[in-house]
Amino acid sequence: MYKLLLVIVLLSSTLFANKIVWEKDFHSGVVKAKKLNKPILFVVSNHSCRYCVKLEKTTFSDKRVIKTLNKDFVSIISYSDENDYTPRELLRSATPTSWFLKADGSPMFQALIGTVGTEKFLKYLSVVKKEFKKVNNKKRAKKQ
């Protein structure tokens, strides 16, 4: 009973957090996404990039974005100025770069380059969730 209560408290604190729960690194994020069967938001950022800072202070600070990402996605951020790992196929010359990935780490769509406004980003999240669900339903149908 105590363990169940602890799990519920931990999960609810994650869902209603005031910040996006970012995974420590790309590899642990992919492992978690596979385990939970969730799409991945992978962001390549840089602390000295003004557009990266703007994205984090605006779109990534919006309560609706935070709630959606923490509930329906595994979020990973990689800072190029900290030499964080970024798979070669996801490297772009501009930051911020936002990728929506399948649970295995492969791209679902082309990357979003630059700052994306909150309303537009929420629409992207909705499209990604629907597409991810559709692809998973097709996989399940093939297995049956």
The residue behind tokens 């959606």 is: 68
2 part of a folded domain:
no
**63 within domain boundaries:** yes
| 89 within some domain | yes
Answer yes or no: is 51 within a domain. Answer: yes
CATH code of 80's domain: 3.40.30.10
Number of domains in the chain: 1
The 10s digit of each residue's pLDDT in 100-135 is 999 999 999 999 999 999 999 999 999 999 999 998
pLDDT in tens, 81-90: 998 999 999 9
- For residue 138, the enclosing domain spans 17-143
Q: How far is CA 78 from CA 40, 59, 114, in A?
A: 13, 17, 15
In total, the chain counts a number of residues equal to: 144
In a domain, 37, yes or no: yes
Residue 138 in any domain: the answer is yes
Contacts of 43 by beta carbon, 8 Å cutoff, 6+ apart? 55, 75, 76, 77, 78, 96, 97, 98, 99
List the one residue out of 19, 22, 37 whose CA is nearest residue 139: 37
**5 domain-assigned:** no
